Structure 1
């Protein structure tokens, strides 16, 4: 047709008609696009184009009148069904409702009306010339790349929310676990109740569909509480609380100058014992010691100062006991210590004391013929209650001070 009208039949003209009637060639994709895939992409990005599910249902009905599966190419993209045919295709949608959704699709720039002089929709052929009046789908085709980009942005945003939701859920679980652990080592401290309440409220909030901003705020709050809990459990405050015990243990064992094996065996009863009858203790003593051996009384900063070699094999700071354990697990294979020996040491010493022993063995690695065998020997002592990692660390401190 020589002329393309821009005004609809018996309807006021709007910016939407002016906006879609002429599009530069650069905006045309240039290759056919599957109409159903394009509709799925538009469904994903519907908020970006200001259309609803019902609008897309009407658009789906119109696309079903287009004979080909692909939009584009040389085919004219005008469909000309009657209002009755459209409503039948939409499972009996009222005509007034259908017209309202069609108007929204036109306003969104996804459809264009090509009304005939009398407002009827039809196609007229004259030789090779074909003129159709109805709904033009070419705006949808021209915006296919824009629709694809918008749909991809929506998917990326959904993925960010999903990952952040997982992180918040894991942090909530860790917070609840730290609250229980902190209650065991420092009972009656009100901060543990605060952690439990926060974990419960977070679990309740995660039942809803939280926005990205809500999840970011929740993660920031949980991070602050987790750092505070870790510092209370194994940070500087806890280390200071145990300094007096370590000083006593240090004075008791410094008189032993034979430190070539790193670990002078401790008799049952610790520093308070001294007589020959110390080996005959009550049967419950081993159980009591097993419950407390996983919590070293020696400060973590003293361990790091006595065993600086560990930091050369571990990237990052070691400020908490769990970080010392990660470093020990990282360096253990390089020391030739088997996984079974490491697991046995953790079972009888506890993860923290086993990590201290591994760091001390690494510090004197050149003096020890078989690190794995030495670790098993110390594990055997720990199994019978004749082991403490304190003298081992203090021997290394004295050795570094004398150097």
Structure 2
């Protein structure tokens, strides 16, 4: 235990436990430790948002560092600088006295400097017989040396967050451009579909984008725009990609249906006598498969599905499909209804639909009937998961803001 390394401020400035903690931490600097003072200063500048500092406070810190004669902050040297307020104000670009004192207090509060006040509150140094500084009263720069690694990590985190924001904004710009040009092309060339509703959804998404400032809110906007882009592409894909010949299509369809059935059987055995199985299966026209959406987006829109996964974690599509079967059983949806959904939508999107049903379970009287209705609408090309996922994403974002 170390003693004698805690000092209290002069005058009416109060002592706090945070100041005690900071002084104890700087008293335990590793012997021989040193760091370039301007490197630490740059880290503090980059991490100023996390430290709660403004530009004026950093200008004052810069001025304090100029009074330290060496390039390296060293544990073996005197780390206390003792300029007067007048000297500090000159080196801080002529800052006013009141503003100077406010920003010195902010630097102390942020834990970047410490006060080492004299008995009368003045800043000065007493020299020994050999001319060296024996005792100094002023501001200690020891916290910068003690926290040099921490400040470097904080600066790196800020840089990474800035990079992440830049990437998200770039993707938002590209996705907005894609949607806008797809809508224009579809309307100008008379493509079938309710393109006005896509236009309205885009305008609404852009309006929300204007108020988004954080990475989380911007990412939610990107998710919404991505879903809208997928919707536009799917609407055009149905019309523009020619269907194969009846013979090839029949063979391919038979193969796909067998593949889906095998996937379902791997997850859960089914029987013709199970509840909801129809006595006579009517042949259905081949449905145009809808694309699977990004798994991360699905989990943000439907977070409850993770509760039904092994270990409470969904890391791939297989985990999602397995959890969807558990949810199917829990909600009382018959195996036949779920299998029909898999054949119409594809197993991945059927699992997404099941996750959406789980999120809205409190508003759905018959989950099985609801899923069958989605299946029929998918077969008639009247339904896509995009709008449902977008609505859930917006709802979760709104509830998250309220909780925050």
Which TM-score bucket, shorter chain as reference?
A: 0.5 to 0.7
Tell me the residue number matched to 1:270: none
Distance 1:12 1:300 in 2: 85
Match of 2:14 among 9, 12, 15: 12
Matched, 1:69 2:14: no
Distance 1:152 1:301 in 2: 59
Distance 1:168 1:225 in 2: 12
- Note if contact 1:44-1:151 (Cα within 8 Å) is conserved in structure 2: yes
Q: SS where residue 115 of structure 2 aligns?
A: strand
Match of 1:87 among 78, 86, 89: 89
Tell me the residue number matched to 1:214: 217
Matched, 1:162 2:163: no
Distance 2:249 2:37 in 1: 65
Given the superposition, is the C-alpha separation of residues 299 and 109 from structure 1 closer, same or farther in structure 2, using an over 3 Å criterion? same
Give, in angstroms, the shift of residue 188 of structure 1: 6.9
Tell me the residue number matched to 2:178: 174
Tell me the residue number matched to 2:243: 298
Distance 1:34 1:124 in 2: 26
Tell me the residue number matched to 2:306: none
Instruction: State the TM-score, normalized to the length of structure 2.
Output: 0.55
Matched, 1:234 2:240: no
- Note if contact 1:27-1:143 (Cα within 8 Å) is conserved in structure 2: no
Given the superposition, is the C-alpha separation of residues 150 and 300 from structure 1 closer, same or farther in structure 2, using an over 3 Å criterion? farther
Distance 1:9 1:302 in 2: 93
Distance 1:59 1:20 in 2: 17
Q: SS where residue 222 of structure 1 aligns?
A: helix
Tell me the residue number matched to 1:139: 143
Given the superposition, is the C-alpha separation of residues 3 and 31 from structure 1 closer, same or farther in structure 2, using an over 3 Å criterion? closer
Distance 1:50 1:22 in 2: 22
Given the superposition, is the C-alpha separation of residues 169 and 124 from structure 1 closer, same or farther in structure 2, using an over 3 Å criterion? same
How large is the Cα RMSD of the aligned pairs?
3.4
Give, in angstroms, the shift of residue 8 of structure 1: 1.6
Give, in angstroms, the shift of residue 135 of structure 1: 0.6
Give, in angstroms, the shift of residue 200 of structure 1: 5.0
Distance 1:227 1:219 in 2: 12
Q: SS where residue 20 of structure 1 aligns?
A: helix
Tell me the residue number matched to 1:98: 100
Distance 2:48 2:124 in 1: 30
Give, in angstroms, the shift of residue 159 of structure 1: 1.2
Given the superposition, is the C-alpha separation of residues 300 and 200 from structure 1 closer, same or farther in structure 2, using an over 3 Å criterion? farther
Give, in angstroms, the shift of residue 304 of structure 1: 7.0
Distance 1:152 1:300 in 2: 57
Q: SS where residue 22 of structure 1 aligns?
A: helix
Give, in angstroms, the shift of residue 146 of structure 1: 0.8
Q: How does 1:378-389 map to 2 (within 5 A)?
A: none
Distance 1:170 1:27 in 2: 50
Matched residue count: 253
Task: Encode CA deviations 1:298-332: one digit per residue, 9 max, x unaligned.
Answer: 35998677789xx9xxxxxx9689xxxxxxxxxxx
Given the superposition, is the C-alpha separation of residues 296 and 94 from structure 1 closer, same or farther in structure 2, using an over 3 Å criterion? closer
Instruction: State the TM-score, normalized to the length of structure 1.
Output: 0.55
